[in-house]
Structure 1
């Protein structure tokens, strides 16, 4: 039975939460910033919210009856890879809705790709890996939903993801893990390590995935890779370790020689060190990660937003990062090759993502984002396995936050932008035709011209494109551009310590504020749906025929509809 009044109370509490409320508190108050127009913090429905009824009905079942799962996909670029705004929204859903978590959703060992791990979990790896990302000029691996892949032929390779690393109270306890990936020659398989036991997965050849069922729910996912020829794997592991030790010794010697040459040059500027040329020629390739020469080649996670990364719009830096990846790949090939094993091809495994789930009722919220991604970054030519992986998640709601990189150009093609979105939406609707869509308009931004930042006037044009898409698809719009203050407002957000100096990205405070605002807007839209639900007639118990009939009592008055909650801004 649906207890409408009870839910209205629950939703009202969530909307009006104070900084002292727990759990899922709102730590920032948008009202104190006069440049933020909080009256615009609503989900607008240009063509009505009929397409949202399947989503709202599933939420009704979850909230009122504690049954079923609701799956949300939030897709974008660097804002989403960092997973601060999406992580904030996820935290609200998981902590404030009955039923708790239905699983963490899609995750990835971003540290193995030498890029920042989402802020909501940690990742680390062992071994030498190369990467493919959907923002690279040349993508040499078929990518999936996440737009990223890592590949290794290192016999020592492992990845570890710690889902509750930053949670004071554990949130995630996963009962099923599906690993998407493949071996080039079917001679290496992933295994899940739990309690010092290696668990083999069930290989689903149709989806190129392996399904693992741990003996108990887990929050640490450790994957190793086992070659069919275990003897060859063991001997190669020892060979790589010995080679890296020798390589590290050589590098230290080169560094000492370089320091000695520098000191000699300071003493006698005219003197030329006889060994300087040798030192220069034997130095490591530019950009090679220092951690590649660690004895066990183990690397800690890159867990802070954008750590070790280029500015998402700095194309020169991104090109350097891509060049670095190629140089590291060459170093790997040189290190692993020898006269005795050049003929034999080492087993190689490519991983494109992991999906973690539970059987519990609740909400599963997945973020998808790559620094620098544009809408075409998720097209079939680059991510051919997009639908293949998405079908295991089948979102009930998709929040689109791609567009900041598409629009930050000298001449923005709004028509081309919409057509690109139509192509991406078609891919999603193949898998989940009834999914609800919310478009998140771009934030205000500046462009760097020479050495100064200038306003980019494209914000309003991009905003209109999002509303046109919403009209076509019966979608909702969260108008972040207008909400934050419109053109030029990013400078005010930076001044208020809510945005970074690049005037494109927000900082932790800003992302948390935006996450709070979005959750309030979504909750309000759902609250209006609940307010329109008719109250159910009370169930009359069956008459007891063993007792004499009593005089009929006056029936209680039943309202036609649930009580209306506090007034909220009307839908637009």
Structure 2
């Protein structure tokens, strides 16, 4: 462990809530072995000051002390997030900030129902024929919601189930499931088909979800569909959220292949439903597709305006939410030359962060700056398209993002303790 990481790690060990040391130590060792990472850039930039970070750090302390029931983190992006490795790496690191933080799994989308790639940390079992649509495909039109992607079936015999995979030998349990879906006379409804003791089913048509509450925590589920009206001929799933009645650091992941800041805003239901996550922190990783245009075609002002609309949507659920922007990973435009639009996107994010007292993690510089994709590809960390990383690459970037967040929490908390 190099001196920088050792100093941060020792600081963490002295803090009251950052006590689950071994996994964090392994994360730093992984980063320390990398020769491609720019270690000095693994930090949270705060161009508008640290007051909102301090407020978030205070919430983390309260969760560790049992004074609040949960802390909701949302990571939203495109294919970097849908693939699962990046958000899962950050999730797995952050839940180890304290032994009691592991518990509630949070929001996910059953991508397999939509016929697209599904993360490996959960499996989907289903019957019937389903059709997928994404907000990121301009020709797709559907009843989009909280995840920016839907799966639709017209089969009244269709079923679906989600299996959450264990993490480090620990099983994800849940005592409440929320299914996001549209309501109306033309829609079928989800019905619990499991063996466990279901206490309550309640619907919230205005918010667009049905909840199933159980007597005790469970680990398996299955849903069937019911038509209560002759006109009900289809069912559209927009997302599934798992809850557990225990203190938890909940890490929700929202990612759609090809997503842009504009695509998430195509749906009024997205901006309406996102408030129900009541996010305490949002990690914004949208931008790689916005910037994947010829030089001179990237619209900085539209990019910033879209982000402010997204921020306002999250604020409707929690006015004190803390935002972190991730700059774009390095990439090549059409595999021909480095995409310098990433610099314009970073400039826009820094302006937003200063205006809204948000944080920025400069992933572009962490990778080595413009053109660094060549070295990452040679090392087996980037794919041939020069946009997406390999699982090893996403894991490394995920560790760097985690380390930047943990370092910021450690420094601001230690500063607060010294001022007592």
The TM-score, its normalising length taken from structure 2, stands at 0.90
Q: Distance in 2 between matches of 1:530 and 1:98?
A: 18
> Match of 2:325, SS?
strand
Instruction: Answer whether contact 2:325 2:349 (CA < 8 A) is retained.
Output: yes
Which residue in the other structure is 1:271 paired with? none
Q: Deviation digits for residues 293-338 of structure 1, max 9, x if unmatched?
A: xxxxxxxxxxxxxxxxxxxxxxxxxxxxxxxxxxxxxxxxxxxxxx
Which residue in the other structure is 2:191 paired with? 191
Which residue in the other structure is 2:172 paired with? 172
> Match of 1:172, SS?
coil
Q: Does 1:397 align with 2:281?
A: yes
Q: Deviation digits for residues 7-37 of structure 1, max 9, x if unmatched?
A: 62567776xx6xxx44884286333443421
Q: List structure 1 segments (4+ residues) > 6 angstroms apart after TM superposition.
A: 10-14, 196-200
Q: Deviation digits for residues 55-114 of structure 1, max 9, x if unmatched?
A: 111111112346431100111000011121111111112234232234111122211100
Which residue in the other structure is 1:123 paired with? 124
Which residue in the other structure is 1:57 paired with? 58
> Match of 1:409, SS?
coil
Alpha-carbon shift at residue 439 of structure 1 (Å):
0.5
Aligned counterparts, 1:192-271, within 5 A: 192-195=192-195, 201-228=201-228
Which residue in the other structure is 1:305 paired with? none
Aligned mate of 1:353, from 232, 239, 253 = 239
Which residue in the other structure is 1:289 paired with? none
Larger Rg: 1
> Match of 1:437, SS?
strand
> Match of 2:126, SS?
strand
Instruction: Answer whether contact 2:18 2:97 (CA < 8 A) is retained.
Output: no
Q: Distance in 1 between matches of 2:135 and 2:193?
A: 30
- For these two proteins, the number of residue pairs brought into alignment is 408
Which residue in the other structure is 1:367 paired with? 253
Q: Does 1:387 align with 2:271?
A: yes
Structure 1 unmatched ranges of 5 or more: 230-343, 536-559, 562-572
- Measured on the aligned residues, the alpha-carbon RMSD in Å equals 2.5
Aligned mate of 2:14, from 8, 13, 20 = 8
Instruction: Answer whether contact 2:28 2:403 (CA < 8 A) is retained.
Output: no
Q: Distance in 1 between matches of 2:18 and 2:73?
A: 22
Q: Deviation digits for residues 373-396 of structure 1, max 9, x if unmatched?
A: 0000111xx221123322221100
Instruction: Answer whether contact 1:24 1:95 (CA < 8 A) is retained.
Output: no
Instruction: Answer whether contact 1:109 1:159 (CA < 8 A) is retained.
Output: no
Larger deviation, residues 486-495 vs 61-70:
61-70
> Match of 2:225, SS?
strand
> Match of 1:26, SS?
helix
> Match of 1:505, SS?
coil
- Structure 1 residues 198 and 185, CA gap change in structure 2 (3 angstroms): farther
Which residue in the other structure is 1:332 paired with? none
Which residue in the other structure is 2:377 paired with? 494
Instruction: Answer whether contact 2:178 2:209 (CA < 8 A) is retained.
Output: yes
Aligned counterparts, 1:105-504, within 5 A: 105-164=106-165, 167-185=167-185, 188-195=188-195, 201-228=201-228, 347-379=233-265, 382-410=266-294, 411-448=297-334, 453-504=336-387
Instruction: Answer whether contact 1:107 1:355 (CA < 8 A) is retained.
Output: yes
Instruction: Answer whether contact 2:275 2:315 (CA < 8 A) is retained.
Output: no
Instruction: Answer whether contact 1:176 1:212 (CA < 8 A) is retained.
Output: yes
- Structure 1 residues 427 and 228, CA gap change in structure 2 (3 angstroms): closer
Q: Does 1:525 align with 2:411?
A: no
Instruction: Indicate the structure with greater strand content.
Output: 2
Which residue in the other structure is 2:6 paired with? none
Q: Deviation digits for residues 501-527 of structure 1, max 9, x if unmatched?
A: 111111111111111111111111111
Instruction: Answer whether contact 2:18 2:98 (CA < 8 A) is retained.
Output: no
- Structure 1 residues 197 and 127, CA gap change in structure 2 (3 angstroms): farther
Instruction: Answer whether contact 2:274 2:313 (CA < 8 A) is retained.
Output: no
Instruction: Answer whether contact 1:82 1:117 (CA < 8 A) is retained.
Output: yes
> Match of 1:431, SS?
coil
Alpha-carbon shift at residue 193 of structure 1 (Å):
2.5
Q: Deviation digits for residues 468-487 of structure 1, max 9, x if unmatched?
A: 11111111000000111001
> Match of 1:214, SS?
strand
Q: Distance in 1 between matches of 2:139 and 2:178?
A: 28
Instruction: Answer whether contact 2:78 2:257 (CA < 8 A) is retained.
Output: yes
Which residue in the other structure is 1:515 paired with? 398
Which residue in the other structure is 1:45 paired with? 46
Q: Distance in 2 between matches of 1:24 and 1:145?
A: 35
Alpha-carbon shift at residue 215 of structure 1 (Å):
3.3
